[in-house]
């Protein structure tokens, strides 16, 4: 080789094999070392160090570099994918945080009683946070029909039976109990009053509603004993919306046919008949 290499203190030094090891000046090279700086091979090496590798460089000299580049590319792609996943997770967590803030604001602004029943029902149905917020909005607008438990239905029926329609409406507005229409639908017994002598259809309907059994048929005869003691009948007339008849007349003043209510004149005629009798 036209030069020798020496590494000292992490610094690589190139010098001529016949270096004189002495110079007239401290910052000058000897004549032998100065002659190798124009060596063609050394100049090419310096060009490779300071410049880039030519495209005509054989592949065998680049195999190690290509392997390192591929490793770096895989590492960069892995880091890019990790960064993308981290950004998506942060976006999801940020949106979830905003959704929970919206839920808290919706609950704080909701004046509907028993909001916990609405949230519990939505969680049982595995609804998401946005679905719960929409349900709360519907409840505030009055377009949401909640699902009540059997205990709440029974409590509303008891309040309706003891206090009437006004107490049932008050419980619905103040305590979130079922409304009056829902309470009436869940009443166990719905006896139909007869304006005259009871018919077979009315008796069958009343027995079915009171005892939750099927009416007797020709194939199967069902015996039933109903014991009633001290029935108090309110002495007043009333209008039945199901049959459009006037009920409440006693046996002496009632007629064989039903007292159908068509207009106010029928009510006046009935009042005059009661006065004359």
Q: Within a domain: residue 203?
A: yes
Alpha carbon distances (Å) from 268 to 133, 257, 265, 272: 56, 18, 5, 6
pLDDT at 182: 81
Residues 127 and 106 sit within 8 Å (Cβ to Cβ) = no
Does 180 reside within a domain? Answer: yes
- Between the CA of residue 55 and those of 47, 48, 70, 210, what are the distances in Å? 14, 12, 18, 100
d(CA 56, CA 239): 108
How many Cα neighbours within 13 Å face the side chain of 116? 1
Q: Are residues 127 and 80 in the same domain?
A: yes
Strand, coil or helix: 13: strand
Say whether both 154 and 169 belong to one domain: yes
The reply to whether 39 and 70 lie within a common domain is no
Pairing of strands 238-240, 11-15: unpaired
Does 223 reside within a domain? Answer: no
Whether this prediction's pTM lies above 0.95 is answered by: no
Domain shared by 198 and 163, yes or no: no
Q: Quickly tell me which residue has 């046996």 as its tokens.
A: 251
Answer yes or no: do 81 and 21 share one domain: no
**3-class state of residue 234 by DSSP:** coil
Q: Kindly state whether residue 82 falls inside one of the protein's structural domains.
A: yes
Same domain, 118 and 132: yes
- Rounded to the nearest 10 degrees, how much is the dihedral formed by the CA atoms of 121, 124, 128, 133? 10
Full residue range of the structural domain in which residue 169 is found:
150-185
Tell me whether residue 117 is in a domain.
yes
Cα distance between residue 157 and residue 210, in whole Å: 16
Same domain? 239 vs 205: yes
Spans of the chain below 70 pLDDT: 1, 26, 52-55, 59-64, 111-114, 117, 145-146, 188-190, 211-224, 228-234, 251-258, 277
Place of tokens 């304006």: 195
Residues 160 and 196 in one domain: no
The C-alpha angle with vertex 170 and arms to 169 and 173, in degrees rounded to 5, equals 85
Closest to 133 measured CA to CA, from 159, 113, 146, 115: 115
Residue 252 and residue 76: Cα distance in Å, rounded? 102
Q: What is the pLDDT of residue 79?
A: 93
Residue 225 lies in a domain: no
What pLDDT is attached to residue 216?
A: 47
Q: Which two tokens stand for residue 75?
A: 């590492």
pLDDT of residue 112: 66
Do 96 and 161 have their domain in common? no
Residue 194 sits in the same domain as residue 275: yes
Position 172 in a domain: yes
Statement to judge: residues 264 and 241 lie in one domain: yes
Tell me how many domains the chain contains. 4
- Residue 201 sits in the same domain as residue 252: yes
Q: Examine residue 136 and state whether it is found in any structural domain, yes or no.
A: yes
């Amino acid at each position: 080789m036209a030069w020798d290499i020496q590494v000292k203190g992490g610094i690589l030094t190139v010098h001529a094999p016949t270096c004189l090891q002495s110079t007239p000046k401290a910052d000058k090279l000897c004549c032998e070392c100065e002659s190798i700086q124009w060596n063609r091979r050394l100049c090419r090496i310096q060009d490779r160090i300071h410049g880039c590798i030519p495209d005509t460089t054989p592949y065998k000299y680049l195999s190690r570099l290509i392997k390192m580049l591929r490793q770096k590319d895989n590492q960069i792609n892995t880091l890019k994918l990790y960064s993308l996943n981290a950004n998506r997770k942060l976006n999801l967590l940020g949106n979830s945080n905003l959704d929970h803030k919206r839920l808290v604001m919706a609950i704080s602004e909701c004046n509907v009683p028993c909001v916990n029943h609405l949230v519990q029902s939505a969680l049982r149905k595995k609804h998401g946070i946005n679905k719960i917020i929409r349900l709360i909005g519907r409840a505030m607008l009055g377009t949401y029909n909640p699902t009540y438990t059997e205990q709440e239905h029974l409590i509303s029926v008891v309040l309706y039976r003891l206090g009437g329609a006004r107490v049932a409406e008050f419980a619905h507005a103040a305590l979130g109990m079922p409304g009056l229409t829902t309470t009436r639908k869940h009443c166990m017994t719905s006896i139909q009053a007869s304006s005259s002598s009871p018919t077979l259809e009315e008796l069958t309907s009343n027995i079915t509603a009171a005892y939750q059994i099927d009416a007797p048929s020709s194939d199967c005869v069902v015996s039933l004993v109903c014991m009633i003691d001290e029935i108090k009948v309110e002495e007043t007339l009333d209008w039945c919306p199901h049959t459009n008849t006037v009920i409440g007349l006693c046996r002496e003043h009632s007629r064989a046919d039903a007292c159908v209510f068509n207009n106010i004149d029928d009510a006046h005629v009935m009042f005059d008949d009661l006065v004359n009798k």
